[in-house]
Structure 1
Amino acid sequence: MARRAARPETPARLRLWVTVTLLVAAALLVSACLVMARVQQQVRIIGDQAAPQAANAADLYFALSDMDAQVARLVLTSGRAELAGSQIDALGAYQQRGRQVDTDLQLSLTTATGEAERAIVLDLMHDLGVYRERVWQALTAGPSAAGYYTQATNVLHLDLLPAATRLREASEERLDQAYGEKGLTQTVGVILAVLLGGALLVLLIGLQVWLARRFRRILSPALITATLLTVLLLVPLTFVLVVQGRTLGEARDQRLIPFLDLSQARAVSYDAAADTSRYLISNGLDYYRQDFDRKAGALEAGDSGLPTVAGGSDVAPFNTEQVVERWQAFRAGHERIVKLADAGQEAEAIGLLTGIRRGDAAFDFSYYDAAVADIAADRKDRFDRDLRDVEILLTGWPWIPAGVLGLVILLVLLAVRKRFAEYR
């Protein structure tokens, strides 16, 4: 009688055990697929939207700064036949930067995610039109060129560059937000994998032991296979979540952020170089000399200085030294130009500033900028490679848990099918 009374409990307990196991397996399946799909989507947002937006905003600031520097060269060389080569070089650079600015603004308008960002871009486009009008007036006004150029550079510094700064800050904030959301998703994914995966393993092992004791059978091959498949899923799943997070985090901290900081320093150096031209155009206005010294001081020291932003574990010390030494050579040229201008030797000062031969300021600055551009390009390329590696690592993962855990569910049902048949 006791045996008959206990016997009905066995199918009920078996049914309960199997139901809980299947529910946990289904919960793990759904959560793993959703988490991996979400991580993949967030990585795509970082790679296709947030990071390019931040790089584009930094490029816009740099291109605007160089545009004004080239306009200053054009004003200084206007009407001087002996400087025709410098004028052609400046005109080509101005046109190139203009196309670069237009491209950056169009991309910013296309990828803007909110009305505030869109409004900034539209303001930039409007102010850029005003700036170009002042530039055209400066280049065609003859003796009155200095006044129109002053108006143009005021538009740049009072309207365009502050708006570009706001756009850069907004893009960097969006980048941080994208990284934060992805970090939260991967943390939740790891927690769910540990909790649900651990619970599923305990249930599978417990079911195996319970069946062996209750029915006095050897271990079930189906349950053993289901347990192994679960382990083989959880280990790489957790590994992928952790590794992609660490790889993208290092790519941001060691590649992208240093790239953006170097781009900002590069833009400041272009604006400082333009101050030399502005000093000559304004007939020695001391404001531009002080402005150059302020920017040069920031470039040579501090956390945002060239020794910091052009250095690091990813840059050979020699390359960093080249950047600093070439900037200092240009600054020495700036001092010579200022002394010539103060001594009334305007023609010599303009020739030294705008010349494109070795030893001229324009050549020294291009030599410095080439060293900066090499480091910046290398950092951007490394970030892009890291991003591609993460995308390859995540390939197929939104579907892998579905296939593996779907098979686990089938194996569990197969393992208990004959046991339920004994009670029919």
Structure 2
Amino acid sequence: MKWTTPQWIRTLAAASVLAAVVLAVVLGSVFATVRNGLAVIGDRAAPQVSAATDLYFALSDMDAQLANVLLAGDDASLAADRKAALGTFAQRRSQADADLQQIATDASTQKSVRSVLDGVGQYESLASQVILLDQNDAAGRPAANVLDLHRQATDLMRTTLHTVDGITTSNHDLLNATYQSDVDGTVTARVWVIVIGAATVGLLVAAQVHLRRRLRRRLNPALLLATLVTAGFTITGVALLAQESGQLTVAKSNAFDSIVALSQARAISYDANADESRYLVDPGRAAQYQDAFLAKTQSLAGLSGATIDSYDAGLDSAFKAYQENNSDVKLTGFFGTELNNITFAGERGAAEQTVAAFQAYERDDRRIRALDTAGDLHGAIAFDVGTAAGQSNADFARYDAALKSVIDINQRAFDAAIGDGDGRLTGWTWQLPALAALLVAGLVVAGCWPRLAEYR
């Protein structure tokens, strides 16, 4: 049976409206998903990762300060250093408590958090005994019972830090999965939006062509406007999806990957600094702590085959090669990750300052070990805990400040990318798609209804 003109008009009009509604539903749902993904990344996963890495840092520095207390002992010349170590220990304990409170809000890690709480509680009990019993011991040479308690505390902290690292990994995996899902979703959605948008435009054009042929009308303004609205809405939607994908890449790949690597580097740096103090305070485990220091150094800025004695020359050579050619990154580890992911204004200069400050701190470590090997334990301790310019703790503080400046650059970029990505979606999670669909439907009715009336 041959279709009549009214049947064709009704069919094309209904198909156009239906296609416009489908387009609106697809855009609204995908933008809602992207916005939810941004919330997961920006408001849940990223803060939890940051809290976990900060907890690792705080706990590591607590143990470093405990070792520094033992290094100072009852030596009057080191009394100020002992007081400073005790003050920092208390500060890090409060910081760790705050981080634990934040992490505890995540139901998926509550079992691990309870384990960390138990470990920290036991550690603080042991640490309190160490501090109380060490008040009359010689600098760097605690009594056997104090040293035994200190070993128990340090070993317990190793186990606790391992659990904290698992919490970091769990939340980072969630962030990676959410990011990949959102990026893949925007790519798939763009294809569907183009296909559905093109189909809607095609139906609207077909309706106009049919009216022109059957009714000898050269132009239908309402259908023309509906076509332009649909085309504009499709192009805008596809462009916005591309922008959101770009913002997700900036936030996660360019910024947060560096934040995680550098935050972990900062936490491990404090743990390595603690190994340096443990090396002096516990001769029975000196070799173990020296190996641990080197392993953590390699995790920060890895050099294949480097030993404690050859590391400085290797680092200097690798860093000079990088400065001459920024694509020549010979370092592995967290610093290698960062040097391969320089993105934002000022980031390269800040990263290079960090590596230079790290070099100075590493050279200080060799001096500490040389003084101790030469039998000058007091000189090694004074240089290790000293905060005057050129002393180890002063150089470590300078290195830490440089490292934190690179983290801050990436953190600002991350916050801006998440904020911009969320801001661009205002109105696009259903409101604008629904209005566009209603507008197209209204224009289709306005364009076709008068023509249908001619057949009544």
Q: Which residue matches 2:167?
A: 167
Equivalent pair of 1:310/1:372 in contact (CA under 8 Å): no
Equivalent pair of 2:20/2:230 in contact (CA under 8 Å): no
Q: Which residue matches 1:119?
A: 111
Q: Alpha-carbon deviations, 1:338-392, whole Å to 9, x = none?
A: 2222333222221111111112211111111111111111111111111111111
Q: What is the CA distance between 1:42 and its match in structure 2? A: 1.6
Q: What is the CA distance between 1:317 and its match in structure 2? A: 4.7
Report the residue type matching 2:186 in the other structure.
Answer: Q
Q: What is the CA distance between 1:189 and its match in structure 2? A: 2.2
Q: Aligned partners of 2:273, 2:343: CA distance in 1, in Å? A: 29
Consecutive unaligned residues in structure 1, runs of 5 or more = none
Q: Alpha-carbon deviations, 1:19-42, whole Å to 9, x = none?
A: 211211121122222222222122
Q: What is the CA distance between 1:86 and its match in structure 2? A: 1.5
Q: How do residues 134-149 of structure 1 correspond to structure 2 at under 5 angstroms?
A: 134-142=126-134, 143=143, 144-149=145-150
User: How many equivalent residue pairs?
Assistant: 415
| Residue 329 of structure 1 pairs with residue 330 of structure 2 | no
Q: Kindly, what percent of the aligned residue pairs are identical?
A: 33
Q: Which residue matches 2:9?
A: 14
Report the residue type matching 1:390 in the other structure.
Answer: G
Q: What is the CA distance between 1:303 and its match in structure 2? A: 2.0
Q: Aligned partners of 2:421, 2:27: CA distance in 1, in Å? A: 18
Q: Which residue matches 1:226?
A: 226
Which sits farther off after the overlay, 181-190 or 12-21?
A: 181-190
Q: Aligned partners of 2:32, 2:351: CA distance in 1, in Å? A: 41
Picking from 86, 89, 94, the partner of 1:91 is 86
Report the residue type matching 1:420 in the other structure.
Answer: L
Superposition misfits of 4+ residues, deviation over 4 angstroms: 315-318
Report the residue type matching 2:290 in the other structure.
Answer: R
Q: What is the CA distance between 1:192 and its match in structure 2? A: 2.2
Q: Aligned partners of 1:27, 1:325: CA distance in 2, in Å? A: 57
Q: Are the structure 2 counterparts of residues 15 and 309 from structure 1 closer, same or farther at C-alpha, using a change threshold of 3 Å?
A: closer
Q: Which residue matches 2:400?
A: 369
User: TM-score, normalising length from structure 1?
Assistant: 0.93
Which sits farther off after the overlay, 404-413 or 277-286?
A: 277-286
Q: What secondary structure sits across from 1:110 in the alignment? A: coil
| Residue 392 of structure 1 pairs with residue 393 of structure 2 | no
Q: What is the CA distance between 1:407 and its match in structure 2? A: 0.6
Q: Aligned partners of 2:24, 2:33: CA distance in 1, in Å? A: 14
Q: How do residues 3-152 of structure 1 correspond to structure 2 at under 5 angstroms?
A: 9-112=4-107, 114=108, 117-142=109-134, 143=143, 144-152=145-153
Report the residue type matching 2:155 in the other structure.
Answer: N
Q: Which residue matches 2:212?
A: 212
Q: Which residue matches 1:306?
A: 335
Q: Are the structure 2 counterparts of residues 362 and 184 from structure 1 closer, same or farther at C-alpha, using a change threshold of 3 Å?
A: same
Q: Which residue matches 1:258?
A: 258
Q: Aligned partners of 1:326, 1:310: CA distance in 2, in Å? A: 15
- Give the root-mean-square deviation of aligned CA atoms: 1.9
Equivalent pair of 1:46/1:178 in contact (CA under 8 Å): yes
Q: Are the structure 2 counterparts of residues 209 and 256 from structure 1 closer, same or farther at C-alpha, using a change threshold of 3 Å?
A: same
Q: What secondary structure sits across from 1:387 in the alignment? A: helix
Q: Aligned partners of 2:6, 2:364: CA distance in 1, in Å? A: 92
Q: What is the CA distance between 1:308 and its match in structure 2? A: 4.7
Equivalent pair of 1:75/1:145 in contact (CA under 8 Å): no
Consecutive unaligned residues in structure 2, runs of 5 or more = 135-142, 303-330
Q: What is the CA distance between 1:318 and its match in structure 2? A: 4.2
Q: What is the CA distance between 1:283 and its match in structure 2? A: 2.7
Report the residue type matching 2:132 in the other structure.
Answer: T
Q: Which residue matches 2:442?
A: 410
Q: Are the structure 2 counterparts of residues 35 and 290 from structure 1 closer, same or farther at C-alpha, using a change threshold of 3 Å?
A: closer
Q: What is the CA distance between 1:135 and its match in structure 2? A: 0.8
Q: Which residue matches 2:389?
A: 358
Q: What is the CA distance between 1:313 and its match in structure 2? A: 4.2
Q: Which residue matches 1:243?
A: 243
Q: Which residue matches 1:154?
A: 155
